[in-house]
């Protein structure tokens, strides 16, 4: 009896230790979504507040647990003990244990409020000509608008490095939340109640980001990327994004374009392709430059080779095919699968040849 209890205790200990180690591993700064490897001023200040509060919490934990352990051992029941002395009330003790936490809370509140202000108030606000990006949450993807440039895109927010970026947060449907762990967040995107945040990336690169407020079945599949680049690269990107789509010459792509604009597919109903007469939909992402995006479906399908930022034509083709053949398999519950006529049975489903033609057309939208 004693022995098995011992062994169970040992097992429990190992299990507990294993769980703790696994949890601690989540803190590794090298993880793409780690909040400890901060690469912008907002995230850094947030991390400092985290450490202050964590430190205060750890101090309280050690002192309180220490006193408890001390009391448990020191005053443990001994063989000849009778009833312990009965005490009711101790004013000095009660005042002490009210005042000390109050002081600790003041120490937590001061840096919290300071950071709350400095991370909310943009150092270069839009009224003073600061850089603005409008980010709109949709179930389950992000739209990005650059009012100063006239650029509209999805799931990939390009910004110049070392610039203060003011992000206007909106939502088309339910509450979402904008979070770029290494740069800034989390601020809610609330329908009919615009929020703002600012951020700055201190080095070039791609930063993982995602929705941080449960927003329906594919919430976990609602990601995006921030691409921080030199002004030169950013301007080149803007210029490429501003170009309108031109009609393809390749016969298969041409066939795809016609299908896209027809009532056999209804693609045009939800998607915009600037430069065309019919495709002006706003329910889905703007597809004018879909072939230039590093991911499809809000970060789910990667169009780049492992250690490259460049879109691989072969991967993109494969991913577009996968998306059109089975959107629900890629992203459960997505609005395109739910509402598009070719998937909900209003018109016949796409044939393999039709998918080939549509993919050929989409590949021309660079």
- Would you give the binding string for Cu ion spanning residues 237-256, x where CB under 5 A is met? --------------------
215: contact with Cu ion by CB under 5 A: yes
273: contact with ligand HEC by CB under 6 A: no
209: contact with Cu ion by CB under 5 A: no
Among 219, 234, 285, 363, binds ligand HEC (CB under 6 A): 285
Report the distance separating Cα 316 and Cα 156, nearest Å.
15
- CB nearer to Cu ion: pick between 153 and 171: 171
Query: Interface with ligand HEC by CB under 6 A: which range of 16-24, 26-34, 237-245, 337-345?
Result: 337-345
Binding partner at 358 among ligand HEC, Cu ion, none, C-beta below 5 to 8 Å by kind: ligand HEC
Closest contact distance (angstroms) between CB of 142 and Cu ion is 10
| Contact present, 68 and 127 (Cβ < 8 Å) | no
CA distances from 178 to 15, 25, 127, 148, 184 (A): 35, 25, 22, 21, 9
- CB nearer to Cu ion: pick between 211 and 350: 211
179 Rama sector, left if φ>0, alpha if ψ -120 to 50, beta otherwise: beta
Report the distance separating Cα 332 and Cα 325, nearest Å.
13
Read off the DSSP letter of residue 283: S
211: contact with Cu ion by CB under 5 A: yes
339: contact with ligand HEC by CB under 6 A: yes
SS (H, E, C) 330-347: HCCCCHHHHHCHHHHCCC
357: contact with Cu ion by CB under 5 A: no
Among 151, 267, 279, 363, binds ligand HEC (CB under 6 A): 267
C-alpha closest to that of 224 among 292, 289, 273, 297: 297
| Contact present, 181 and 43 (Cβ < 8 Å) | yes
Report the distance separating Cα 340 and Cα 353, nearest Å.
18
157: contact with ligand HEC by CB under 6 A: no
252: contact with ligand HEC by CB under 6 A: no
331: contact with ligand HEC by CB under 6 A: yes
Query: Interface with ligand HEC by CB under 6 A: which range of 5-13, 157-165, 235-243, 290-298?
Result: 290-298
Instruction: Find the helix packing angle between 352-363 and 251-260, rounded to 10°.
Output: 100
336: contact with ligand HEC by CB under 6 A: yes
Closest contact distance (angstroms) between CB of 181 and ligand HEC is 21
SS3 163: coil
CA distances from 8 to 5, 16, 34, 264, 301 (A): 5, 12, 35, 65, 45
Residues near ligand HEC (CB under 6 A): 140-141, 154-155, 260, 265-267, 269-271, 283-285, 287, 290, 293, 296-298, 320, 323-324, 331, 334-336, 339-340, 342, 358, 362
């Amino acid at each position: 009896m004693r022995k098995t209890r011992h062994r169970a205790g040992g097992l429990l200990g190992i299990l507990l230790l294993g769980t703790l180690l696994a949890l601690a591993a989540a803190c590794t700064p090298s993880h793409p979504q780690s909040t400890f490897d901060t690469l912008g001023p907002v995230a850094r200040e947030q991390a400092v507040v985290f450490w202050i509060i964590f430190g205060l919490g750890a101090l309280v934990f050690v002192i309180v647990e220490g006193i408890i352990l001390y009391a448990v051992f020191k005053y443990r029941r001994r063989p000849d003990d009778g009833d312990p002395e009965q005490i009711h009330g101790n004013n000095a003790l009660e005042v002490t244990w009210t005042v000390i936490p109050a002081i600790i809370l003041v120490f937590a509140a001061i840096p919290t409020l300071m950071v709350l202000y400095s991370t909310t108030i943009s150092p270069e606000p839009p009224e003073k000509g600061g850089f603005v990006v409008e980010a709109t949450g949709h179930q389950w993807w992000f739209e990005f608008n650059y009012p100063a440039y006239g650029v509209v895109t999805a799931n990939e927010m390009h910004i110049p490095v070392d610039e203060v970026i003011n992000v206007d947060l909106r939502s088309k449907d339910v509450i979402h939340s904008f979070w770029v762990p290494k740069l800034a967040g989390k601020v809610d995107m609330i329908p009919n109640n615009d929020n703002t945040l600012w951020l700055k990336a201190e080095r070039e690169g791609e930063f993982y980001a995602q929705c941080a407020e449960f927003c329906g079945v594919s919430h976990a599949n609602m990601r995006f990327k921030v691409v921080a680049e030199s002004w030169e690269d950013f301007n080149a990107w803007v210029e490429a994004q501003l170009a309108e789509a031109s009609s393809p010459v390749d016969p298969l792509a041409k066939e795809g374009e016609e299908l896209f604009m027809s009532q056999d597919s209804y693609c045009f109903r939800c998607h915009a392709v600037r430069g065309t007469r019919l495709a002006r939909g706003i329910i889905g992402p703007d597809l004018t430059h879909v072939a230039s995006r590093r991911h499809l479906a809000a970060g789910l399908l990667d169009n780049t080779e492992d250690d490259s930022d460049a879109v691989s034509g072969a991967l993109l083709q494969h991913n577009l095919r996968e998306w059109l053949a089975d959107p629900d398999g890629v992203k459960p519950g997505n609005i395109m699968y739910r509402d598009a006529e070719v998937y909900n049975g209003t018109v016949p489903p796409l044939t393999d040849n039709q998918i080939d033609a549509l993919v050929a057309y989409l590949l021309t939208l660079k």
